[in-house]
Every structure is written in structure tokens, then in C-alpha cells.
Amino acid sequence: MSSSVAIEKIGIIGGGIGGLFLTSYIVQNWPDYPDIYLFDPRFDERGEARTSRTSGFVYQGWAGSYGIPHVDPSIVVHKIYTITFHKGSKSVEISDPLGRKICIINRNPVWMNGRLIPSIYQHIRTYISKYERIHFLPFRVNDIYFPHGQGSNGNFKILCNDYDGKKHQIDVNGVVFTTLPSKIKEILSKKIGYRPPKTWPGAVFDVYLKKEEWLPKYQTLHKFFVGGGKIHTIDLIPKRDTLTIMALGKGATMPVLYEHIDKNPDIQRCLPEHWRTRIVEGSAGTLNIPVTSAKNAVSDGIACLGGHVFGALLINGGLYTNLWAAEFLAKAIKKRGFHKKGLERLYFAKLKKILCFQNLIGKTIYMLTDSFLLPSTIISYFLFRKFVKEKELAPEKRILTRFAWDLLIGEESFSQVLIRFLRGLSI
């Protein structure tokens, strides 16, 4: 794209978290922003009904201020008040010294106490709908033509279908991919050398609990360190009649997880009797959690954003990372348009550097915990005693407890959390 081409139209593929955050930053911080074309089959009412995910989003960062723009408390479905760490037959429950909670916000609208709580997508969409020149297109993108030769006016052609199979073509000056349909993946890898990030296996799913038998007074996040070089951690989040299970590590596949949950007496101990290992339909499955960043994710007129580029800042949460990435990208486009050099320097390279550094610290913390601290009975016993003892101290003196919550809440980078912890220890 030549420097003389002004940005009049931006196409954003995918109206999920990445696409909505990006649109929201652009319209709020760029007074004469270009027309924005957001493509997502879910914008169609039938599309929303067809989405299969029932699981919520764990949004770490309940502190009164949400971090995520326009998310207000009315869409929080559940809050987690305490974390219980389990190691063998020992366990300790801690709450955050700062009183923060972990929130669960939903991917799909849910009825609660006779009230319809919108999904996070609907919520942000409603907010940004009041801005002009945002076109929500309920189309599935299938293909893209790069600008070439004369007569193309430097435009990309986005080819898509609506739910009735009717074909559409929209011309734009720049395209942001928050999701990559397989054909486009091939095109980008050939044309701009796009390479996806490295991933770790993980799994998230909900299981039903027998109704009315186990209604926890409040929600707690149970963290089990199962080690063995396969699964790093299993987390259980009880809701009223379901349990969300998240696992991270090489063996975090569904069959292995079932075996762990069904046969591990320490986990069984925390579950209600007669629980049914039946997965809530469409709640999720085996995941590939990106732990590095993609390669060559920007070019002239093209920028990739979202889960397929950076995913999660280790396990600090994909929402947080996407929010951060969207902000960098919006600023880069505003300043330099869709020029490869500007996108590279102000968005991709900048973010990649931060993520690589943070991932290194995060991985080291988890590696130390999994391979060294927790497998050692003496050290883990010492840590559990320390957690218990800290409960008697004033909140500002609960250094280890704060460290654990900070890591899980993910409001700050791993480096900031670690520095605060080390400073606390040295005082």
C-alpha cells in the first residue's frame, strides 16, 4: 500500500473480543476515524443462537475498576471470593488481602433471577453501536484478494457469505484478522510469511453437578497441583450446578483429565457426592493455548490480532492480552496507517518484546512452583503453613497471599508482581 493511500475503510474479521476492543479504541481515540466494517456471522440473530460455547469467561480483575472498557458490574454472572490450594491431602483457602474478586462474565446471554444478562460481546457491541460509521456485517469471511495492479485502488477485497448463502464483496484499505479461516491462513502464510505461535495443551469444560445437592455458599477457585510432568494444574470453579474445569500442561487432554478427576482421591474429596461426569454440551474442549507470539503477523495493509497471534499472556488471561494488543494496534494505525514499518514498530515488535519477557518470567514462576517447590514435601508444607499463618496478619503484611492473588488476577504484568513480592520479602 503506497503512502498516498488514505485510510477510509478498515475491515475487521471477527467480532469477538479482539475485534470489539479494537473498534472501541479506534472510535474513542480517533475523532475522524475511518469507516469500520466488522465481519462476524454471530451478528446475525441466528448466528448468536448457533454459537456453541456455554462456558463463561473468567475475568480476573474485579477491583471496582474493570480494566475492560464498558464492562459494568451488571454483566458479571458470578464472582470468586476465595482460592483454595490443594496439595495432596492438605489444603488452604485464602481470600485476597485487597478484597478483589475474580469475575465470571458470559460468552452467551444467560437468565439469572428473572433477568437477562447480556453476553460480553453484546454488551460491548451495544456500547459502540452509538458511534457512526461502524458496520456490523453478519457475514462469514471466506477469501481475500490482495490489491494488485491498476484499478484496484489499493483496496483489499473481502469475500464473504451471509447465512442464506448469498455472496458479498467489501473493499477496504486495510484488514485486521482476529480469526483466520483456513483458506486465509494459507494465503497469509504464502503472501506475508505468517506463522502461528507455539502452544501448550490445555482444556476447559463444564460438567453438570446433581441439582440441589451441592450449592456452594460462595464461589472458590480450587487449584490442584497434580504435577507428574504432564498436567501442571487443574482448576475447579464451582457454580450452582456446574463445575468449570480448566487444566494446563502436556497431558491436559480430555481422556487424561477424566482419569485424574475420577480417580484422584484428593480431587474427589472436594467434589459433591454423586456428581455426574457429563460435559455441558459445547462448553469447550481441548485447547491449544498460545504461549509465544506469531511470526510475521503484519504487512502493508494487513495486521493480525487476537487469540491466534498472542492468545494468553501465559495463563494471565486472553482477555487482558487482547485488550492490551488492541490498544497498541489502534494507536499504530492512527499514527502510521497500515504501513508495514509502522505496524511492525509501534504494534507487533513492541508487544512481542513485552510478551516474550513476561512469558519468560511467568513460565519460570510456574516451572519453579511445579517442578521444585510443590513436589518437595518440606517446601510445600512450609508454604501451606505460611499461608495459614498469614491469615492472622494485617492485610498489607500478607505477602505470599497477595503474590498468589496477583498472579491469578492478572491485572499487572508478571514482572511487576514479582518485584512487589521480592520487595515485600526483603522488608
Ligand X SMILES: Cc1cc2nc3c(=O)[nH]c(=O)nc-3n(C[C@H](O)[C@H](O)[C@H](O)COP(=O)(O)OP(=O)(O)OC[C@H]3O[C@@H](n4cnc5c(N)ncnc54)[C@H](O)[C@@H]3O)c2cc1C
Residues that bind ligand X (CB under 6 A): 13-19, 39-42, 55, 57-58, 140-141, 178-179, 181, 204, 284, 287, 306-307, 311-312, 317-320, 322
Select 1 or 287, whichever has its Cβ closest to ligand X: 287
Under a CB-based contact definition with an 8 Å cutoff, are residues 244 and 80 in contact? no
Between residues 104 and 383, which has the closer beta carbon with respect to ligand X?
A: 104
- In whole angstroms, how close is the CB of 97 to ligand X at the nearest point? 23
Least Cβ distance, residue 43 to ligand X (angstroms): 9
Distance CA 407, CA 405 (A): 5
Q: What is the closest distance, in whole angstroms, from the C-beta atom of residue 240 to ligand X in the complex?
A: 18
Q: CB 202 → ligand X: shortest distance, Å?
A: 9
Burial 319-337 (b: 16+ CB within 10 A, else e): bbbbbbbbbbbbbbbbebb
Query: From the CB of 341, what's the least distance to ligand X, in Å?
Result: 24
Distance, CA of 159 to CA of 27 (rounded, Å) = 25
Pick 95 or 316: Cβ nearer ligand X: 316
231-238 vs 219-225, strand pairing mode: antiparallel
Which lies closer to ligand X via its Cβ, residue 18 or residue 238?
Answer: 18
What are 421's three cell numbers? 513480592
Closest to ligand X by CB, 74 or 182: 182
CB of 104 to ligand X, least distance (A): 8
CB of 46 to ligand X, least distance (A): 12
Query: In whole angstroms, what is the distance from residue 296 CA to residue 342 CA?
Result: 14
22: β partners: none
Smallest CA-to-CA distance from 284 within 324, 330, 243 is with 243
287 φ/ψ angles, rounded to the nearest 5 degrees: -115, 160
Dihedral angle of Cα 193, 312, 201, 77, to the nearest 10 degrees: -140
DSSP run (H or E) holding 188: helix 182-192
Nearer to ligand X, 122 or 178 (CB): 178
Nearest Cα neighbor of 232 from 220, 216, 249 is 249
Query: Please, which residue, 144 or 404, has the CB nearer to ligand X?
Result: 144
